[in-house]
């Protein structure tokens, strides 16, 4: 997993491939997500607040976007993404994931 970068930078530099990502608010891991529509597009929607699915997560990330950093792992398949997402969510128990 690469070093975390600000969400605004990730919305331009992240790859267009599918993947799993971690969201940090300051130094704290707060969310693990998956991007089947491509990481860059996913981050761009979060940064602009324009995602239409999972609106609670969009609102939280958008409202805090200047303090958000992200890390990601590219995946080759949707199944790989699903497995990694489940593994990380279970292992790390990020607060915003638990708030659902």
Read off the pLDDT of residues 17-31 as tens digits, 9 standing for 90 and up.
999 999 999 999 999
Contact present, 21 and 39 (Cβ < 8 Å): yes
* The pLDDT of residue 78 is above 60: yes
Contact present, 53 and 29 (Cβ < 8 Å): no
Mean pLDDT, range 51-79, rounded to an integer: 83
Read off the pLDDT of residues 1-50 as tens digits, 9 standing for 90 and up.
778 999 999 999 999 999 999 999 999 999 999 999 899 998 998 888 88
pLDDT of the residue at 97: 85
pTM exceeds 0.85: yes
18: which DSSP letter?
A: -
Contact present, 91 and 97 (Cβ < 8 Å): no
Ordered domains of the chain (ranges, CATH): 5-98 (3.40.1440.10)
């Amino acid at each position: 997993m690469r070093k975390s970068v600000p969400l605004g930078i990730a919305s331009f530099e992240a790859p267009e491939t599918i993947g799993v990502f971690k969201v940090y608010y300051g130094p704290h891991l707060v969310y693990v997500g998956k991007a089947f529509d491509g990481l860059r597009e996913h981050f761009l929607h979060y940064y602009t607040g324009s995602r239409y699915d999972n609106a609670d997560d969009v609102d939280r990330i958008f409202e805090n976007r200047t303090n958000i950093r992200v890390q990601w792992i590219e995946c080759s398949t949707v199944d790989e993404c699903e497995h990694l997402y489940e593994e990380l969510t279970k292992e790390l128990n990020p607060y915003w994931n638990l708030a659902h």
